[in-house]
Structure 1
Amino acid sequence: MEHLINPGVKDIQISGIRKIANLVSQFPDALSLTIGQPDFPTPDHILQAAKLAIDAHKTTYTANPGLLELRQAAAAFVRNKYEMHYTPESEVIVTTGASQALDITLRTILEPGSEVLIPGPIYPGYEPLIRLCGGVPIYVDTRSNGFKLTAELIEPHITDKTRCIILCYPSNPTGRVVSGQELADIASLLEQKSIFVISDEIYSELIYDQPHVSIATIPSMREKTIVINGLSKSHSMTGWRIGFVFAPEYVAKHMVKVHQYNVTCASSISQYAALEALTNGVDDALPMKEAYMQRRDYVYNRLLQMGFELEKPEGAFYLFPSIERFKLSSMDFTMRLLNEHKVAVVPGDAFSIYGEGYIRISYAYSRQVLEQALDRMEDFVRKL
C-alpha cells in the first residue's frame, strides 16, 4: 500500500537537525550543542496563568484566529516594541507555533509552479512546506555576503513566477541580522513588483547590539509583507506551541480559512499562558538575551582561538563556523567529533547545499556545558 502515499510527502526528508539530535541519544556521555531551544524554564508567572486557566475550565475551543484579548496583546506587543501596526480583529492570527504559521501562509499564497526565493544556508523547515504546496524553492547563495540576503543578491533571481521572498532574521543558522538600510534596499527593489515577503521574525527579541527592524514597517512593504513570530524563543515556550501571523486584512481573511481547517484553533490553555506572556511578561526575554550575549562572546572567542573562520552573530543563539580547512565534509566532521570526542553539533548541509563546509553550534546551553564541549572540540581539531 505504500505506493499510494503522496510522492511529495515520500520525498521529504526528516530535518538534519533532528537526525543528529536523535542520534545523540545513543551517546549518553555526549554533550549536545544541537537544538535551538532555550535552556531557561518558562517564566513562573506564565505557568501560573496556565494553571489558573485549567482550574477555571477554560478548555473549550476559542475563536479560530485566537482569543481576541490575546490578539490585542500581540498587536500591542509588536506596536510598542517594533512600531508595527495591525488590527487585532482582522490582521492577527494565533497559530500552533511559528511552523504552522508558515504552513498556512504558504498554503494561502502559493499555487503549483510558484517560485519562492530563500536565502541559503537557511533553516530546513521552509523547503518542504513550499514543495508540499507545489511551489519551487529558489535558493539565493548568501555565503559571499556574510550570510545576508540583500537586494543585490535577490534581483538576478526574480522571474515572472516569483511569488514571494522569505526573510529570516536574526537567521537560523548564522545569527546574522539584515540592517534597516538593507531592508530599505529590498523594499526599493520590490516597490513596483507584485511579490510577497514572508518575514520570519521568531528571534526578534534576541537581537544583541541593535533594535529589531521589520520590513513591514516600511510603508511600501506593509501590504506585501506577512510577518511570522511566536513565543518559543522569546519566552522559552517551545512546547506551548504559540505563534502569530501579522498580515494585511486582504490576505489574513483567507489565511484564517486555511488555519480553521488545519487546526481549528491553537490550544486554549496555551493561549491563556501566551496572554500572560504578552502582558505581564513583555520583557521576559531581556535576562535571557543578556545571558545569550555573554555565551555568544565566549563561544565566538573560543572558536577564533581554535582557528575557525566565522561571522559574529548579531542575534539568535547560533554560530556557523567554517570547517573547510579540515578537508572533511560537514557530516564527516560532525560524526567524527561525536564518535571520537562525544560532542554533537549540526552539519552545515542540514541547512541546504549552501551550508556544506560549515557546522552549526547552538549556544542555548549552560556555560558549564559550553566550556566542556569546547574543550573537547579544541582537542579534536588539534588532532585533525
Structure 2
Amino acid sequence: MSGARLKAFHLARRLDGVGFSDIVKIRNRIMELRAQGARVFQFEGGEPFLNTPEHIKEAMMRALRENKTRYAPSSGIPELRAAIAEKVRTRNRIPAREEDVIVLNGGMQGLFGAFQSVVDPGDEVLVFSPYWTPIKDLIAHCQGVTVLVPTAEARREGFAATLARYASPRTRAIYYNTPQNPTGVVFTRAEAEEVARFATERDLIVIADEAYEDLVYDGEHVSIASLDGMFERTITSFTLSKSYAMTGWRVGYAVATEPWMTGLRKTTLYSTNGVSTPSQWAAVAALATPVSFFDEIRAEYRRRRDLLVAGLNELGFHCEAPAGAFYAFPDVSRLGLDSRAAADHLLERAQVATVPGVVFGEHGEGHLRFSFSTSIETIEQGLDSLRRNL
C-alpha cells in the first residue's frame, strides 16, 4: 500500500475527543468472572428493575397485527406527538404544541441532536459535575469544549455566582440534568430559577436532560423549560426508558421551539430517519398509563434506596440518600484508594460490581456509583458480601 493512500486512513478529526464507555469495560470483567464460576452482585447497571408493563407490550403486538409497520413521519406519528404535547403541558408545565415535539430513538438521540443544533467548534458548554459520562463525548463530537461546574459548589455558594466563575465569552450553553445521574441530586425550583436567570442574562441555551423525571423521592421535579421565558431557549430531552422500563425499545422525544426544532429534525432525518413505527404505537399506550402507576414504582425504588444507603453507611461509606434517579454515590475514600482501584477492590474481594466515580468527571473521584435498580435479594446479599470481605 502506498504512502499516499495511507494518508487517507484516519478518522475525521471531530471524533478525536470522542471515547467509549468505561462501563462496557466493567461489564466485560463481570463476564470474565462469571466464566470462572464466580457469582457477581451487579450494581453497575442503569436499567429499571421491573419489566415493561403488559399493556405496552400488547400495544406493540396489536400494531404488528394491524400491519402498522410502514414508514412513519420522521418526526413521529401524529397520535404520539399529540400525546406527548398533552403530557408535557399537563405534567411538565411546558407550553408545547405538537409542532414543538419530535419522537426520537431514546433520550440519547435527543441529546445528540440538541448539542449538534447548538454547539459550534470552540463553543463552551457548562456542565454540572459529576455528570453522565456521554455528555463530554457529545460535546466533543461538535468540537465544543466541556467546562465542568461542581454541583456541590453551586449548591453551597449559589448557582449564579458559581456559573459566573466558570463562564467565559465563549460560553454557548448549559447542560442541565435533574434528577442527576450519578448523584441522584434533584435541583429545587429556586435553583432552577437561578440557572434560568443566568441563562437569560448571558443569552445562553439550556439543554435539559429529564430522563429520570418520574423517579423523584424527595422534593419535586421542575422542568426548567416551564419557567418564564425559558421555553424558547431550552431543548428538553425525555425518554420512556426509565419511566416505563422500556430501555431496549429505544423511544424518547425532545421538546423545543424554532430554530432548535429544525436542527433536531435535520439530525434525525439524516441519521435514523425516524423511530420504529410499532414502537411508537407502544409509546402511545405508555403515555396513557395512569400517573398512579408511578406511586407504586417510586415506593419500590425508595425501599431499595433506603436499604442500600443504610447498608453503605454502616460499612463506613458515607452516603446521602439520593432525592431522585436510582443511584447511590457513596464516598469510599476510607479505603485509601482512587475510585478505579476501589471499584476493582470491591469486585475482586466481594464480587460487587460498581462504577468508579471518576468516570463521571473529576468531581466524582473518591466515590463509587451503586445502582439500587435491582432486586432486594441482590442488595441484601451484595451488602453481606461487602461486610464479610472488606
The question of 1:69 aligning with 2:89 is answered no
Pairing 1:179-258 to 2, within 5 Å after superposition: 179-258=188-267
1:177 alignment partner, SS class = coil
Pairing 1:279-294 to 2, within 5 Å after superposition: 279-294=288-303
Cα distance, 1:113–1:120 mapped onto 2, change above 3 Å? same
Alignment equivalent of 1:322, drawn from 320, 327, 331: 331
The question of 1:30 aligning with 2:40 is answered yes
Alignment equivalent of 2:371, drawn from 353, 362, 365: 362
Cα distance, 1:71–1:159 mapped onto 2, change above 3 Å? same
Letter in 1 for 2:91: K
The question of 1:85 aligning with 2:95 is answered yes
Pairing 1:148-163 to 2, within 5 Å after superposition: 150-163=159-172
2:32 alignment partner, SS class = coil
1:263 alignment partner, SS class = coil
1:147·1:176 contact (CA, 8 Å) conserved in 2? no
What is the rounded CA distance, in whole Å, between the counterparts of 2:155 and 2:32 in structure 1? 35
TM-score, length basis structure 2 = 0.93
Alignment equivalent of 1:132, drawn from 141, 144, 152: 141
Alignment equivalent of 1:43, drawn from 53, 60, 63: 53
Please report the RMSD computed on the Cα atoms of aligned residues, expressed in angstroms: 1.8
Aligned length: 380
Match of 2:3 in 1: none
State the 1:11 CA deviation.
Answer: 4.3
TM-score, length basis structure 1 = 0.95
Alignment equivalent of 1:6, drawn from 12, 31, 41: 12
What is the rounded CA distance, in whole Å, between the counterparts of 2:272 and 2:196 in structure 1? 33
1:119·1:149 contact (CA, 8 Å) conserved in 2? no
Q: Deviations over 1:78-103 (max 9, x none)?
A: 22222222011x20010000001100
State the 1:350 CA deviation.
Answer: 1.0
Cα distance, 1:277–1:147 mapped onto 2, change above 3 Å? farther
Match of 1:310 in 2: 319
Alignment equivalent of 1:178, drawn from 160, 171, 187: 187
What is the rounded CA distance, in whole Å, between the counterparts of 2:328 and 2:154 in structure 1? 16
State the identity %.
Answer: 34
Letter in 2 for 1:24: I
What is the rounded CA distance, in whole Å, between the counterparts of 2:129 and 2:150 in structure 1? 5
Deviates more, 1:274-283 or 1:242-251: 274-283
What is the rounded CA distance, in whole Å, between the counterparts of 2:97 and 2:307 in structure 1? 42
Structure 2 stretches lacking a partner, 5+ long: 1-5
State the 1:121 CA deviation.
Answer: 1.0
1:25 alignment partner, SS class = helix
1:142·1:148 contact (CA, 8 Å) conserved in 2? no
Letter in 2 for 1:72: A
What is the rounded CA distance, in whole Å, between the counterparts of 1:95 and 1:187 in structure 2? 26
Deviates more, 1:279-288 or 1:61-70: 279-288
